[in-house]
Amino acid sequence: MDLLINNLPTLIALIATGMVAGLLAGLLGVGGGIVIVPILYFLFQGFGVSADSAMVIATATSLATIVPTSISSMRAHHKKGNVDFSLLKLWGPFILCGVLVGSYAVTQVNGELLTALFGIIAMLSALNMLVGRKQAIFNSLPQKPGQAGMGTSVGLFSSMVGIGGGTLTVPMLTFCNYPAHKAVGTAAAVGLIISLPAALTLLSIGSTPDDAPIGTFGLVNLIGFICIVPLTVMFAPVGANIAAKLDAAMLKKVFAVVLLLTALRMLAQLIL
């Protein structure tokens, strides 16, 4: 009982994280990882965890939460015929190779590198949302060697910063004149290819930091996982209902500004 009371603020904060991630996913269609990682990064530090440890645990925990949500999202998109399995067949092995290298790297590198990488990716993602480019850069996807590089990059960088398929996969595909609705649906499946092996790797071979928050096994905080996942699933439809009544484009730009400021704050923390 005393253990529960002593850790009640942490539990409440983790539950709130799941609620916020679910609402934003429903409101804006953004992936959970791009929201969960920075919240956990600052949250864990607020409870006395070092910045380095906070980043690797936030990354691993985020990847674990993406597993069930990507399954649910993939099933929904598959029912609408928006998952391109021929593309997944080509990209899948390369994504997996990137994931295995990236998730192993998380267990070896300094947390500052992961923070810098996340900050850069989040900043570019925010700028992409703000600019809202509507025209494709290329007429079509490149040949197989080029697509192999794209798949490997998605797996490598996504697993290193704790995000699913959408943040990198959707822009890559749409820049190549790929239909947006199929890009989103296929990215949901990519999220599962990324998150499942990455989470298992970080859970099994990750070395738990001495200052890790309670409930951390390997590099995954299981209490965070248990608190975040059901709330994310529960509040995503709520966010979708709210989005139907509001200006989604304006909301996305507001989120992009917040994400940009968050990314800059994370990068500034490395320097200051």
Query: How do the pLDDT tens digits run along the chain, 272 residues long?
Result: 555 566 677 788 888 888 888 887 777 666 678 889 999 999 999 889 999 999 999 999 999 999 988 888 888 778 888 889 999 999 999 999 999 999 999 999 999 999 999 999 999 999 988 886 667 788 899 999 999 999 999 999 999 999 987 889 988 998 999 988 888 889 889 999 999 999 999 999 999 999 999 899 999 999 999 999 998 888 877 877 777 777 767 877 888 898 999 999 999 999 87
pTM: 0.91
Tokens representing residue 63 in the block: 């990847």
Tokens representing residue 136 in the block: 């494709």
Tokens representing residue 207 in the block: 């070395």
Q: What's the CA gap between 16 and 1, in Å, rounded?
A: 22
Q: Which pLDDT belongs to residue 32?
A: 74
Give the type of residue at 16.
Answer: A
- By three-state DSSP, how is residue 74 classified? helix
CA Rg value for the chain? 18
Q: Which pLDDT belongs to residue 17?
A: 87
- DSSP assignments along 205-236, one per residue: TPPPPTTPPTTEETTEEHHHHHHHHHHHHHHH
Give the type of residue at 125.
Answer: S
Q: What's the CA gap between 272 and 157, in Å, rounded?
A: 25
Long-range contacts of 46-49 (CB under 8 A, 24+ apart): 46/13, 47/9, 47/10, 47/213, 48/211, 49/209, 49/211, 49/212, 49/213
DSSP 107: T
CB–CB of 172/155 below 8 Å?
no
Q: Which pLDDT belongs to residue 245?
A: 78
Nearest one of 186, 187, 216, 185 to 64, comparing CA atoms: 216
Axis crossing angle, helix 222-243 with helix 32-46, rounded to the nearest 10: 130
Q: Which pLDDT belongs to residue 209?
A: 95
